[in-house]
Amino acid sequence: MYSEKVMDHFQNPRNVGEIENASGVGTVGNAKCGDIMRMYLDIDNDGIIQDCKFKTFGCGAAVATSSMATELVKGKTVQEALEITNKAVMEALDGLPPVKVHCSLLAEEAIHAALWDYAQKH
């Protein structure tokens, strides 16, 4: 049912945690399943994302997509990060079953919310 990459990122999630004094923080909820996700971004003066961490109450698919998404945004500019879609994250994980596609939206939306929070502060 799940790819090896999904199981790897679920069992060994990258970048779980919080960032103190983060440049941007985004919290989103998923109406379909009631889960929540929070993303922390550390963005330097050149607008490069230096660090990214997340916390979630979501399922394995939410954990795996968030873990992969944090890896994808690190080192990117704000503009590049805005262009990372849940589709790209799912592709990087070799796919997700259809019933789990909505879980992958949590990561995309939380990153957007954190970037929006950053933009409002700058």
Q: Which does 106 bind (CB under 5 to 8 A by kind): a copy of itself, ligand FES, none?
A: ligand FES
By a kind-dependent CB cut-off of 5 to 8 A, residue 97 interacts, out of ligand FES, a copy of itself, none, with: a copy of itself
| Residues noted as catalytic | 33, 103
Interface with ligand FES, residue 67, by CB under 6 A: no
CB 9 within 8 A of CB 59: no
Cα 82 → chain centroid: 11
Q: Where are the alpha helices (DSSP H) in 4-121?
A: 4-11, 60-73, 78-82, 86-92, 101-121
Footprint of a copy of itself on residues 5-24 (CB under 8 A)?
A: 10
Query: Are residues 109 and 28 in contact, defined by beta-carbon separation less than 8 angstroms?
Result: yes
- Does position 88 bind a copy of itself by CB under 8 A? no
Q: Which chain residues interact with ligand FES by CB under 6 A? A: 30, 33, 35, 58-59, 61-62, 103, 106
